[in-house]
């Protein structure tokens, strides 16, 4: 039986950094309020003309370099993103053209903040069934383009960035299991109102922005992420003590602390980037993974639990032997 193993990671962040102090100048908020409720201290913002695909390309080139592969080695590209450059071609095709890759399947999917986990799950299945040997999986976003900068409840939360991994077929287990779920009954708690076939005039006018009922989202997210921890451990016949690192979606420090408590895991074993990146949606998990791989915290053989929760609602996890 074939498995997939992560052989390279990468990330890309815009150069522009927006601190909480910067936000104090444009919206009714304070550094203390943002830090105490979210853990966020700063976030990166895409420059004018800088696109989601620009960030995705930067992350993928880093991941491919780390994996020591070239364009001819890639059999599939899967991107999770809520903020694509265009309606079509899809982000995978746009990225494929930039990388000089010709022929393999390239596509994007939208599962909000769970997008990378969903994309990883899809790519892992293709590797396991033998159709793909090497895949590039990406989470990339420019969320700052779709927030209302007058709404202090949402604008302080989001940032831009991209993270990527390269996975390759292997005889030894790398990605041990993935678990993805959704429940559209909660669609009105976290959403963007308009699109191509609904409210297009609002979209064109830039009159819509992310809508969120924060307290309700938090309650459902904490409960749901607790359940998926149990599901993941049970599926692999493991105990909480068998997890070396938690790599959570970087949305809110209190949400991350609640998941760590569920695992009985000290915060020293949780990869935190929320303070530096804010909530980068689908990009947050792969960027956090790359940070911890490159600074040496994560070593080969470590067992990692990746998890995310996003609008939809969607949620998912991946258990990885790095």
Predicted confidence (pLDDT) at residue 263 exceeds the cutoff of 90:
no
- Least Cα distance to 115 among 63, 80, 72, 64 occurs for 80
**Per-residue model confidence (pLDDT) at position 191:** 77
Catalytic, out of 53, 155, 249, 252: 249
Inform me whether the pLDDT recorded for 95 exceeds 90.
yes
- State residue 194's pLDDT score: 79
Q: Of the residues 20, 90, 252, 279, which is catalytic?
A: 279
User: What confidence category does residue 279 fall into, taking pLDDT thresholds of 50, 70 and 90?
Assistant: very high
Q: Hunting for tokens 């069934």 — which residue is that?
A: 129
Question: Is 113 among the catalytic positions?
Answer: yes
Quickly state the pLDDT bin for 117 (edges 50, 70, 90): very high
Residue 298 confidence (pLDDT): 97
264 vs 1, which has greater pLDDT? 264
Task: Determine which one of 12, 93, 113, 155 is catalytic.
Answer: 113
The pTM assigned to this predicted structure is 0.96
**Cβ atoms within 10 A of the Cβ of 102, count?**
10
Please tell me the predicted confidence (pLDDT) of residue 248.
Answer: 96
Does position 203 have pLDDT exceeding 80, yes or no? Answer: no
pLDDT tens profile 204-215: 667 788 888 878
Q: Is 93 assigned a catalytic role? A: no
Q: What is the pLDDT of residues 241-256, one digit of tens each?
A: 999 999 999 999 999 9
The whole-number pLDDT of residue 218 equals 83
Distances (CA, A) of 192 to 76, 184, 211, 311: 29, 14, 6, 9
CA distances from 318 to 5, 22, 51, 175, 231 (A): 12, 36, 28, 7, 11
The reply to whether 249 belongs to the active site is yes
Q: Are 79 and 138 in contact (CB under 8 A)?
A: yes
Rounded CA Rg of the chain: 18
pLDDT of 101 higher than 90: yes
Distance, in Å, from the CA atom of 63 to the CA atom of 87, rounded to the nearest integer, reads 26
């Amino acid at each position: 039986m074939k498995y997939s193993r992560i052989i390279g990671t990468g990330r890309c962040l815009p150069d522009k950094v927006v601190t909480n102090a910067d936000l104090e100048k444009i919206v009714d908020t304070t550094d203390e309020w943002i830090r105490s409720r979210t853990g966020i201290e700063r976030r990166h913002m895409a420059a004018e003309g800088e696109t989601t695909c620009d960030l995705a390309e930067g992350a993928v080139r880093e991941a491919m370099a780390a994996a020591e592969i070239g364009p001819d080695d890639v059999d599939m590209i899967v991107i999770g993103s809520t903020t694509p450059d265009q309606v079509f071609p899809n982000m995978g095709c746009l990225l494929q053209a930039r990388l000089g890759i010709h022929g393999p399947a390239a596509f994007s999917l939208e599962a909000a903040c769970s997008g990378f986990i969903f994309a990883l799950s899809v790519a892992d299945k293709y590797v396991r069934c033998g159709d793909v040997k090497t895949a590039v999986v990406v989470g990339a976003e420019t969320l700052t383009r779709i927030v209302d900068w007058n709404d202090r409840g949402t604008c302080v939360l989001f940032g831009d960035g991209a993270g990527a991994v390269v996975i390759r077929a292997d005889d030894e287990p790398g990605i041990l299991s993935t678990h993805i779920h959704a429940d559209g009954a909660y669609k009105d708690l976290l959403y963007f109102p308009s699109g191509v076939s609904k409210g297009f005039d609002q979209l064109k006018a830039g009159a819509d922005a992310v809508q969120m009922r924060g307290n309700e989202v938090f309650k459902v997210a904490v409960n749901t992420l607790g359940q998926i921890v149990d599901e993941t451990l049970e599926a692999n016949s493991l105990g909480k003590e068998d997890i070396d690192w938690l790599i959570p979606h970087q949305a809110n420090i209190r949400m991350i602390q609640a998941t760590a408590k569920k695992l009985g895991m000290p915060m020293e074993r949780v990869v935190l980037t929320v303070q530096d990146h804010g909530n980068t949606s689908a990009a947050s998990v792969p960027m956090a993974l790359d940070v911890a791989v490159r600074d040496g915290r994560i070593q080969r053989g470590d067992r990692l639990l990746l998890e995310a929760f996003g609008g939809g609602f969607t949620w998912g996890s991946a258990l990885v032997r790095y």
